[in-house]
Chain A
Amino acid sequence: MQLEAKNIGFRYHQNPWLFRNFSLTLNSGEILGLKGQSGCGKTTLARILAGYEKTLEGRIELGGAPLPKVGYRAVQLVFQHPEKSVNPRWHMRDILQEGWQPDDELLARFGIQQDWLSRWPNELSGGELQRFCVVRALSPETKFLIADEMTAMLDAITQAQIWQAILELAKERDLGILVVSHEKELVKRVCDRVIELDSVHLERNSFIS
């Protein structure tokens, strides 16, 4: 299966275009890196790919068809700040089970402790919270994961723990992953291929490796 962006373009209101004529193909089982200058629209692109924002030009296709508008999202997005993507008034158990019911084996793989489930979000560290956000996004129906600076706020050990667990799962389930990251070394380590979202030359995107 493929997740494809075909000649997409986007800008906020009447602001200058962030990108135009941008295309990318993410294959199942592939781990693709996306880099680009600060503010060039990487997060916007991530939101468009996951269906949270509509592209103004071109189209997004999943398995050759438009992104489905209803039902479980097969393209899931996890971003930098876990504390902004959980409801502070819910217990961790409810946050985790919002979309599906992960089993204990998966929780263990991501190092989630049973007693964290009965806590509030503000009683966990950023690294602990991000583990929940990742597992929440990884139902068996998820085919593609967009990781937007997913571990940028985490220490190196937590970052490696989360990525190792994801990489293993990606292999088992043939998941495709888009890794948006400023961190060169991380991208080099986990990605099969890297593309650049180039805001200066709006009309082209260059392929690196």
Chain B
Amino acid sequence: MTIEYNPDDFKSTEIGPGYKSLLEVSDLSVSFVQYQKGLRQRVLKVISNLDISLGSGEILAVVGSSGSGKSLLAHAILGILPNNAICSGKILYKNELLTPERQKKIRGSEITLVPQSVNFLDPLMRVSAQVRTAVRQGNPEEAQKKIFRRYDLSEGVGNQYPFQLSGGMARRVLISAAVINGSKLIIADEPTPGLHPEIVTETLNHLRELTDEGCGVMLITHDISTALQVADKIAVFYAGTTIEITPAADFHGQGQALRHPYTKALWQSLPQNDFTPIPGFQPLPANFSEGCLFAPRCGKITSECTGSLPVMQDLRSGKVRCHHAT
């Protein structure tokens, strides 16, 4: 598929000129209805007012700690949130609204997910047969052989069961299965957990190759170092919302180019930097307050910060959600 360029599309992705808008999420909120004792219900808001955009040819890393809402964002885009979830806001794919019907139609073809672990594969099925079941069009066997050649997977590997694969091969099988239908938007959720650095690099290179062919890749990870190896821009998540969107290049030195106090603290806490953590922890959704959710841990807090959630504002070719961003 070719992508036609329309100058208007550049407006939506300010970071990284030259990218055409592929995915645009604006003001997304996700809540869960929970039934408590008796018939009492409560609505738990887990994602609030989230904005991100991704162009083709671009890798956007979504970085955040456990429970910050990264996977839920992926599930919202794919339309696979559980039934008790309520979603509001707007998701555009190729400038058109991504409705539940459209999600269902293009999930697995246009938009695809690279899952975190081989546990997503059927343990009782040889991997080549399994990858064939993902094929939507044409001859499944040919498609599988072609994609295995591309990812350097031998016939012997194809005859193995998932548990027999080494870490590196498992990553290649998962990517093959995900991209076999020529997807344009690839969402990779923690694709390199606890892997050897060489396998991490190999996996990231595969993602980069896909963007070179015009795909857009959303790389979800808790690990800022992994994200920095390959991403063009980084969306930092905290307590269910984006607090900063920045070109990856702004992570350098003492973090002086970064905009949000949390992003700076994250950078400084890396072992290759200060390794000095700020105290405290991310609040759980049940304890979300009205104001800035980072306020209890922030050294720059003022009375303004606890009143209302700061809105996302443009700052130095990035975006930040903070009343006192620098």
- Judge whether B225 and A185 touch: CB under 8 Å: yes
Taking the nearest CB of chain A, how far is it from the CB of B246, in angstroms? 16
- Judge whether B194 and A149 touch: CB under 8 Å: yes
B193 interface residue, CB < 8 Å from A?
yes
B133 interface residue, CB < 8 Å from A?
no
Chain B, residue nearest A187 (CB) = B271
Tier of interface size on chain B: 20 to 34
- Judge whether A38 and B193 touch: CB under 8 Å: no
B266 interface residue, CB < 8 Å from A?
yes
A163 interface residue, CB < 8 Å from B?
yes
Which of B270, B272, B277, B279 has the largest count of A CB atoms less than 10 A from its CB? B277
Which of A156, A182, A183 has the largest count of B CB atoms less than 10 A from its CB? A156
Contact A38:B196 (CB < 8 A) given known A156-B266, A189-B275: yes
Taking the nearest CB of chain A, how far is it from the CB of B272, in angstroms? 4
Chain B, residue nearest A80 (CB) = B194
Q: Annotate B258-294 by CB proximity to A: 1 below 8 A, 0 otherwise.
A: 0000000111011110011111111010000000000
Q: Contact partner of A186 among B265, B267, B271, B277, CB < 8 A?
A: B271
- Judge whether B279 and A111 touch: CB under 8 Å: yes
- Judge whether B197 and A126 touch: CB under 8 Å: no
B65 interface residue, CB < 8 Å from A?
yes
Q: Annotate A134-178 by CB proximity to B: 1 below 8 A, 0 otherwise.
A: 000000000000000100111111111101100000000000000
- Judge whether A159 and B281 touch: CB under 8 Å: no
Q: Annotate A117-144 by CB proximity to B: 1 below 8 A, 0 otherwise.
A: 0000001011110000000000000000
Chain B, residue nearest A190 (CB) = B271
- Judge whether B199 and A38 touch: CB under 8 Å: yes
A39 interface residue, CB < 8 Å from B?
yes
- Judge whether B65 and A127 touch: CB under 8 Å: yes
- Judge whether A125 and B166 touch: CB under 8 Å: no
- Judge whether B277 and A153 touch: CB under 8 Å: no
- Judge whether B277 and A157 touch: CB under 8 Å: yes
Taking the nearest CB of chain A, how far is it from the CB of B241, in angstroms? 16
Q: Contact partner of B65 among A38, A80, A157, A186, CB < 8 A?
A: A157
Q: Contact partner of A160 among B166, B193, B275, CB < 8 A?
A: B275
- Judge whether A185 and B65 touch: CB under 8 Å: no
Q: Annotate A86-114 by CB proximity to B: 1 below 8 A, 0 otherwise.
A: 00000000000000000000000001010
- Judge whether B271 and A188 touch: CB under 8 Å: yes
- Judge whether B167 and A38 touch: CB under 8 Å: yes
B172 interface residue, CB < 8 Å from A?
no
- Judge whether A152 and B194 touch: CB under 8 Å: yes
A85 interface residue, CB < 8 Å from B?
no
Taking the nearest CB of chain B, how far is it from the CB of A117, in angstroms? 14
- Judge whether A37 and B265 touch: CB under 8 Å: no
Residue numbers in A under 8 Å from B271 (CB-CB)? 159-160, 183, 185-186, 188-190
Q: Contact partner of B196 among A154, A161, A182, A189, CB < 8 A?
A: A182
Contact A155:B222 (CB < 8 A) given known A38-B195, A38-B199, A80-B194: yes
B64 interface residue, CB < 8 Å from A?
yes
- Beyond contacts A156-B267, A160-B277: 12 other A-B pairs, Cβ-Cβ < 8 A, are A39-B166, A111-B280, A125-B65, A128-B281, A153-B222, A155-B222, A158-B65, A164-B275, A164-B277, A183-B271, A185-B225, A188-B272
Q: Give 21 A-B contacts (CB < 8 Å), ordered by A residue.
A: A39-B166, A113-B281, A123-B284, A125-B284, A126-B66, A153-B193, A155-B65, A155-B223, A157-B65, A158-B277, A159-B269, A160-B270, A161-B279, A163-B275, A164-B275, A182-B196, A183-B271, A184-B197, A185-B225, A189-B271, A189-B275
